[in-house]
Chain A
């Protein structure tokens, strides 16, 4: 019980710090950061679009590693495997949330700047594929009625993770409508130093929020697993009483 109280306090403090960081980052993005010369104010979508896009390529790796642990532990240590499975489903949902935001903000920005909502270039298409893969992962987990659902989902997760480096490298491998990387994309890449605080705080704020969601969703999944274990235990006890 003492541990539960400590975890809840840490969680609450983390949540409050995260909200404060995001509010501050949003103020920097909308009020303090200078207006971009070519695109004007609509460029401020960048401060939400790029950090969430970066994070939508990080959470699939959490899902990938957790799925590998699940596959490794599922026979040798089923209780630990359940823990890995809880991390896997939590990270898959957070991936879908962040990649949905990436696609949505990208479309809103693209319509205002390019004049089109969507184009089938390599970056946009590979990102849509990533979103579809993790939506199908969640649908598999929700709809499959076999006893092997978690194993099938873990295998799908391993294949889904292959798309992540393709999304990242797509703007370097192919000529795309999507602009070249903002950072590390050659001598002309990068942003004006006056834009860096707004960008950095948004990366920090949304990363902290992602960690909060991941841990909160993981805790929920563990709760559900405990409820299911209890129901299964009661069912076994009930059938044994009938047999006697």
Chain B
């Protein structure tokens, strides 16, 4: 396994793994939060589809 060093017990390995995992968690968490809010906002908007015809066409 070429990546086995990544899961070693040294501080360098721990910090490298932590950095990569943290980046994915932060970015994925933020994208997930937007997706969740997007679905919530969609539910609120659904009964009012006739709102702004110009904006609807733009969308």
Q: Which residues of A are in contact with B by a Cβ distance under 8 Å?
A: 3-4, 7, 26, 30-31, 40-42, 44-45, 48-49, 52, 93, 97, 100-101, 104-105, 108-109, 111-112, 209, 212-213, 216-217, 219-220, 222-224, 226-227, 229-230, 233-234
Contacts and interface: CB of A to CB of B under 8 A. Distances in A.
Contacts of A223: 38, 41-42, 45
Contacts of B19: 45, 48-49, 104-105, 108-109
A41 B16 contact: yes
B38 A101 contact: no
Contacts of B44: 227
Given A31-B2, A223-B38, A223-B42, A42 B15 contact: yes
Contacts of B42: 223
Interface of A is mostly: helix
Contacts of B18: 108
B18 to A, nearest CB: 6
Interface residues on B, range: 20 to 34
23 contacts: A4-B59, A26-B20, A30-B20, A31-B3, A40-B12, A41-B5, A42-B13, A45-B15, A48-B20, A97-B30, A101-B22, A108-B18, A109-B15, A209-B27, A220-B34, A220-B37, A222-B55, A223-B41, A226-B45, A227-B44, A227-B48, A229-B51, A230-B48
Given A101-B27, A213-B27, A226-B51, 7 more contacts: A41-B6, A97-B30, A101-B26, A112-B12, A220-B37, A223-B45, A227-B41
Most chain-B Cβ atoms within 10 A of its Cβ — which of A93, A101, A226, A229? A226
A30 B31 CA distance: 24
Report whether over half of chain B's contact residues are helix, strand or loop; otherwise say mixed: helix
Interface centre among A26, A105, A111, A220, by most chain B C-beta atoms within 10 angstroms, is: A220
B9 to A, nearest CB: 13
Contact of B11 (A26, A112, A213, A226): A112
A190 to B, nearest CB: 23
A13 B16 CA distance: 30
